[in-house]
Structures are given as structure tokens and as C-alpha cells.
Structure 1
Amino acid sequence: MAIDVPALAARQRVAPVDDESARRLAASGLELRLVTTDEERDAWSQSVARGFLDTERNAEQLDAVRERGAHRRPVGVYDTAAPDPHAPVGSVASWVTELTVPGGSTLPTLAISAVTVAATHHRRGIARALVEGELRTAASLGVPLASLTVSESQLYGRYGFGAAVPVTSWRIDNRRAGWLGPDPSGRVDFVSRERFRELAPALHERVRTSVVGEVPVPAGQWDTFAGTRPDAKDAAKTRAVQYTDAAGEVRGLLLYSVEENLVDYARSTATVSLLLAEDREAHAALWRFVLGLDLIGEVRASELAVDEPLRWMIADQRAAHVEVVDHHYVRILDVAAALEARRYGAPGVLALDVTDPLGITGGRWLLRVDDDGRGVVERWPDGDAAPAGATSVTIGVTELAIAYLGGVSLGTLAAAGRVSTSDAARASRVLGWHAAPRLSFRY
């Protein structure tokens, strides 16, 4: 049965804080609570800004943060003995949204952001209480996944998150790259940032369900991308471009900025901040435009897919320096619901023994995949042998999350010593997918 995501999101926003985390913090003289009033939100936002090395926010910026964060559930940790007991010493924000999984379906996910701990309160269990508390709350409401993009990648494995969506960062020598890609039949035009802001949400909605790993962009974040808010920093540096096909329909959008090279003006740098393309023609047209910019010596871009086809569109592949980085982390909160939601790369039966140190999910499961790539999940009772012909897989919830979207194979994880399986090749084929996952932004 389909899950009513807006209703689930509404329940999550007002759910009480987790009892276990609240008790754990109270034993250390700290209070865990929801942030509800505008005054509390402003103090919470100032603490978040400090935690991410940002400047103190003025009244205009605080108004903007409240508006674009209305969809989020802010939670704070407070020290009543501090000089300013109204300023939280720990923070987290979360909301329920959708994650595209292999096969084009979407599944509710708890998006987590704004995790900070004040430098004065390190090593007091605050981050653990915040993150685990939000995970337990979401799981109790029936949210099957959690996800986040991280500033410090080594922190979240302890909570069961795995780096499920690796992406690539590119530096391209424009003068050397050349072009071998297609010559699109449509046209590329500059548009205003306001026009980009008008067009982008609908285009992204059309694109995201075909891209594994994507999530909806929160409404207020479009203004951040386009610089269309009064409090936006350096908004005038951003240029917007659209691609229209031969029928006059907008199929692609691009945001980029330029940094002048003061030593050699003709070798300035263009940075692509967002490229949305509904089809291959739009994708090629926008990249061809960027690589043809005048006075640009280097193009930079990030959050591109591991299988980004641009490499095969340029004449000299050595003109591109490509780095693979971890980006989007996933945490499974309900193994059965997660496994049944996606499609699979090959038929087969996997006997999965999943461990979860936090006790949120896990257990022994049989995943039966038919010739159409559809999976059915059933309990595999303790003590029972795996069915004849099944491939056994002993796996932690973190490793299952890493493999879940098809971006990392079970064979790779087995070779790394992180998964035990009776047939790594077969398990990889079943759980694999034909395209690499991607998330085109950070949240």
C-alpha cells in the first residue's frame, strides 16, 4: 500500500522527542526538546551557523531561515547552567521526504541536516542522542529509510549510515578538452535567475524519479541556488542558462559562476553549481555550452554521477581530472520495506542475515527476485537453513545501506571484508542496478 508522505511528514514534525535520548542527556544535566517558537528558532539558527563556521545572522537572515526551514523539525539540546540557557549546545533538523530507488519508485526517507555540537560540550553524548533519537522516532512512525549529506564523513557509520551514493568532482582544462558529443537541435539561452527559479522546481520533479538517489529539493533551497533571496550572498555572480528543444520546450537548466584569473584573464574559472537535464540532448547541449565559454581556462563541477557520460563527450579525456567522493549517506530503518520497494538487476534468492547494532531493524530475511526484477521479502526463521539454491549473505545494516541503491556492489564489499556471502558474483548481480545513483545537491 502506498504511503501518504505528506501526512507522515506532518506527524514527524510534531512527534515528541525520543524518550531514551532525553533520559540519557538528562543524566548529564542537559535537556532535549523540540524547537517551536520563533524566538527559539532564531537562537537555534544562530547556534547552527556557529557550528558550520558561518557568521552571526542578522534579523533579515533569520527571517529567511525561518521561512525556508518551515518544513523541518528542529531539535535542540540545552544546558540550563550555561550563561545563555536559551542558546542550544546541540542541534539537529530533520524532515520526511522521498528517495528514488532502483526501478523508479520512491520511498519515504528521513532527511537529516544541521547536526552540530558546541565546542564547549564535546564528548558528552550529544550528537549520539540527537541522531539516534531522530532515527528511533522516524522508525516508530514507519519511515523505512534515513539519509543525509555530511560535512565529516567518518562520523555517521556508528549510527548505521553507509555511503550509498558516491559522486564525482571534475576539473576540466577547457582549452584541451575539445568536443566529440552530439550537436543538439535545440537552443541555449541566458535567462534571469528569477526565470531559473520559476522553471527549476517543475523540471527537477520531472527528472528526479528517473535518477536513483535523488530527493525533492525543499522549496526554499531553490532560492539559495539561484540567489533570489534578499539575504543571498554573492548572488550577482550566478548566471542562469536554459536549453529548449526543437519544439520550444525547456528541457535543461544550468547555474554557473565565474572567478577571474587576475594573472591571466583568459584562463579564468567557471564553476557549475547545478545542471538539470531532462534528456540526453539537453545534457549534452548544456555541457557543450560550458566547455565553449570564452576566457575560461578551467571548468569545475561537483555532485556528478560516477558514470557521468561527459568523459565520452570530450576529445581529450586527460583534460579532465575526476575525483570520486562520498556524498549521500543512507540508513535503513525497515529492512523488509526497503527491499520490497526497489527493483533488482537479476533474478535469484538471497538469504540475508542483517545485524543492526542499534536494534532498530535487522533480522533474517529471504529476498526472492523474479525474472522481471521484482522482489518479495519474507522472514527467514532463526535456525532454519537457507532454501536450496539461495545465496547466503551475512551483512551489517551499514553495508546493506551502501549496496541498497546499486552504487556499490556486494562483491566489492565482500572483497573489502565487510560482507560474507556464499556467492559474491551472484549476490552482486541480484542487488545491482544498471545506472549509478546520484544526488545533485547537498542538504
Structure 2
Amino acid sequence: MALEMRVLQPDEWDVWYDQLELAFGGVPESPQERTLYEALTEPERSLGVWDGGTCVGSAGAFSFRLSVPGGVLVPAAGVTMVGVSPTHRRRGVLTSLMRRQLDDVREGGEPLAVLTASDPAIYSRFGYGTAAYDLGVDIDTSRVRLDVPPGTDEVRLRLVDPREALADCERVYAALVPGRPGMPARQRGWERQALLDPPAMRGGGSPLKCVVAERADGEVVGYARYRVKADWDWTGADGGVDVGDLDALDPAAYAALWRYLCGIDLTWSVRARKRPVDDAVLHLVSDVRRAKARVRDSLHVRLVDLPAALEARTYGAALDVVLEVSDAFCPWNEGRWRLTADAKGGARCARTGEPAELALSTRELGSAYLGGPTLASLAAAGRVRELRPGALAAASRAFAGDVAPWLPHGF
């Protein structure tokens, strides 16, 4: 029987999501998680592949607005819920889903598609480039002290119910979005994701806790959500703290939150996973080696409408360069483009017949788009070719950002 691809109908969601769970190992999610993600699913942007009455493939997209260098929020398709049944692998199901999805994204006028990858090697062939990384730390608080900035002692900390503090925490998050490329503006309903707290997600830790940082007038300027994992051995307490979200509007509040987490009684370690790679905590700790810092890929970016995407962001230096772009999967992006930008924020990208000065694919442009990985580093790996001396250094400098791009939560 021929396979059929069609847009998801709301009453098919459970069957469609069951297939997704099967593709990811068959471990069912908690009722709380399923309820949330059913509410967040946009059926009109969700695709299923059916073999008769059986769903064998899925792909969805969320309608995001993503912060890019310069602070503009750019429409982006948040690609999600991609999976193929193990009985239908190597039959072109994934490729057909990616083809249909990117065509739909282009037709909908979104310049970008973004995703987090269970297997990064899968998505590079569809033009996605790794644009942001996560920092993970495991701080040994028995051997590390924090060197905090002036004003930290004046910050008031208060334990609150995570749900009661949600509105204040969301205001802090929203204030940070324009200054950090890669952060999605919180769409309606997404604030609930951070409050998910089924026992299966706790890893043996406590229910979710929240501490807020306040100024003298009571304004909330930071927060941390965390769990405490109590443990004991023959010598006594050996607990740890798992940090979920931590955001703050000023250095004193930021340091006060980290100092609090590192000083919780009966714990000797603080673990955080999804932090920006330039996180200031690396400068607060007295011994960065005892923080056991490491990185992994996070956000992958695909330029769907190349000129619109390149014109949407600002550049760190004036730029005038002709790009020879290859894009086998989205051939409308292929060809020669002249990108000009000034230091004040204006950018223009248009087709040209002038000689090319840099040669690369949309995957490399996706990697460099948010100002993280540099074009120079990609060139060192042989993925960008300089055709005019000096063009690489100028373009790499212009694309680079002041802060590392960061995706604070999955989707």
C-alpha cells in the first residue's frame, strides 16, 4: 500500500504522538507532558505519514519569533516532533517530510527554520547548521568559592511557589530576549513548560523549587528554578542541586542566585545543563576546573529565505561581500548574492552577477547566522572558501556577535 502524507487532524493527535514516542524508544511520557504538548501542537503545521491506518512518520512546527543579532524578533519555524517508525526507515519518509515542511515554511513567509537534534548528523543534509551550543557545569561546592560583585549582599532572596512567581519570572525572561540571539520570545502557553514537574522528570530529586531575587523596592530582577537531590553515605550528607532555569537582569542578582544555590545545606554539588557557553558563572567560580565545564550542540538553524534572513539581523562591522551559495535541498537559495551592511544596522542582500568572494553553503550561513561559530572557524574546517583575499576576515568579523547565542529551553 502506498504511503500517504497529510496534515494532522486534531482527533488524530494521540495516534500521531504514540508513533513519535515509539520512534524515540517507546517510553511513554507522563500525562502532564502529553497534555501540555497536545495543547502546544499546531495541527495545521503538523504532518503525518500513514501506511493504511497506521501512522509511521511525523513532523511538526511551532510558530516562533526568534531573537537575532540586533534584537529583532524574526519569524521562525520551530521544527519538532520528527520521527519515523522503525518499520519504515530508509524508505524516504524523513526526506519527504523535510521537503514538504520547508516548502510550507517558505510559503508561509518565515525566513528561518530551527530545531534541536536528537542526532545532529541527520539534519545537516537538509541544510541545518549548528548555530548555538549549551554549556554544562558540575560545580564542586566543597572546593569552589564564588567571587561576587559589589551589591550582591543587598539582593533579597525569597523562596516562592513556582506557579505563583511565574508572571514575575516571565517578565525577567522577556526583558532578556532582545539581548541574546537564539532566545525565542515566549509564545502563549510555553510558560507552562518550565513548570512541568512529574516525578519521572525529577531524577530522584525534590519537587520543583523557585527562588526569586528582589531589589529593595520588591521588584523581581532574577529567579532560579531547581531541585534538591538528597543523598547520604557513611560519612554523612552528600546531596546535590539540579538547576533548571536561572535568569537575572543585573550582575548582583545573578551572583546572589548562584551563591544561594551553591550554599544549600547538605549539598556539595550544583549541576546545570542548558547554560550559554559564555555564562558569567565561569568567572564567578574560584576554580573553573572544579566546575567541570563542557559543551554540546543545541540550536540548529536553517535559512529558508536567504535574503530575508540575512537582511533581518544586524552586523558588527560594515560589510560588502559577494557570496557564492550552494543549497541542493532548497535551490531557490542557490546562486550569487551581494550582502552589504553598515555598522548602524541596515543590511541589503540581492542577487548579483559580480565575481564571488566567498563560497559556502546555507548550512555554514546557518551556523554563523546568530553570531556564534565564526566563518573563519568554518573556513579552517574547509567549509568556507575565500575567493578574494581579505573577504573572509571582514565577513567573519561582521557576522560575529558580542554574546554567544543561546536556546534556554527545548521544544
**TM-score of the superposed pair, with normalisation by structure 1:** 0.85
Match of 2:21 in 1: 49
| Corresponding residue of 1:397 | 362
Does the C-alpha gap of structure 1 residues 231 and 143 become closer, same or farther in structure 2, counting only changes over 3 Å? Answer: farther
Task: Say how many residue pairs are matched.
Answer: 402
Alpha-carbon contact 2:8-2:47 (below 8 Å) kept: yes
How far apart are residue 63 of structure 1 and its match? 4.5
Structure 2 distance, partners of 1:61, 1:190, is 25
Q: Give the secondary-structure state (helix, strand or coil) at the position aligned to 2:285.
A: coil
**8 Å CA contact retained: 1:193, 1:227:** no
**Aligned 8 A contact 2:115 2:300 in 1:** yes
Query: Does 1:429 pair with 2:404?
Result: no
Aligned-residue offset at 1:57: 6.1
Q: Which residues of 2 match residues 44-443 of structure 1 at below 5 A?
A: 44-53=16-25, 55-56=27-28, 62-70=34-42, 73-80=45-52, 85=53, 87-182=54-149, 183-184=151-152, 185-227=154-196, 234=202, 237-263=207-233, 265-358=236-329, 359-381=331-353, 384-385=354-355, 392-421=357-386, 422=388, 423=390, 424-443=392-411
How far apart, CA to CA, are the structure 2 residues paired with 1:177 and 1:324? Answer: 20
SS at match of 2:317: coil
Q: 1:59 to 1:379 in 2, by over 3 A?
A: closer
Gaps of 5+ in 2: none
Superposition CA RMSD, Å = 2.2
CA contact 1:139–1:360 (8 Å) conserved in 2: no
2-side partners of 1:362 and 1:290: how far apart?
A: 50
In the TM superposition, residue 345 of structure 1 has moved relative to its aligned partner by: 1.2
Q: Does the 8 Å CA contact 2:7/2:44 hold for their aligned counterparts?
A: no
User: Within 2, Cα distance between the matches of 1:257 and 1:60?
Assistant: 18
Taking the aligned partners of 1:291 and 1:90, their CA distance within structure 2 comes to 44
Following TM superposition, by how much is the alpha carbon of 1:342 offset from its aligned partner in structure 2, in angstroms? 0.8
Instruction: State the 1:66 CA deviation.
Output: 2.5
Residue in 2 that maps onto 1:11: none
Deviations 1:311-366 (A, max 9, x none): 11112222111111110000001111111111111113111111101114232111
Q: Which residue type is aligned with residue 10 of structure 2?
A: T
How many angstroms apart in 1 are the aligned matches of 2:180 and 2:32?
36
| In 2: Cα distance, 1:201 partner to 1:72 partner | 27
Instruction: Give the secondary structure class of the aligned counterpart of 2:78.
Output: strand
Counting aligned pairs with the same residue, the percent is 32
SS in 2 for 1:131: helix
How has the CA–CA distance of structure 1 residues 396 and 61 changed in structure 2, closer, same or farther, with 3 Å as cutoff?
closer
Instruction: Give yes or no for contact 2:10–2:43 (8 Å, CA) kept in 1.
Output: no
Unpaired segments of 5 or more residues in structure 1? 1-27, 387-391
CA distance in 2: counterparts of 1:360 and 1:280, whole angstroms: 45
Structure 1 residues 87-146: Cα deviation after superposition (integer angstroms, max 9, x where no partner): 411111112211111011111111111111111111111111112211111112221000
Query: Judging changes above 3 Å, is the alpha-carbon distance between structure 1 residues 293 and 360 closer, same or farther for their aligned structure 2 residues?
Result: farther
1:415 to 1:323, Cα distance in 2 relative to 1, 3 A: same
Structure 2 Cα separation of the partners of residues 285 and 160 of structure 1:
42
Q: Is the 8 A contact 2:315 2:343 kept in 1?
A: no
Alignment partners' CA distance in 1, 2:37 and 2:131:
29
Q: Which amino acid aligns with 1:257?
A: R
Question: Could you say what secondary structure the match of 2:228 adopts?
Answer: strand
* Matched-pair contact (CA < 8 Å) for 1:177–1:319: yes
Give the 3 Å change call, closer, same or farther, for CA 322–101 of structure 1 in structure 2: same
C-alpha contact 2:45 2:61 (8 A) present in aligned 1: yes
**Residue type at the aligned position of 2:307:** A
Q: 1:389 aligns to what? A: none
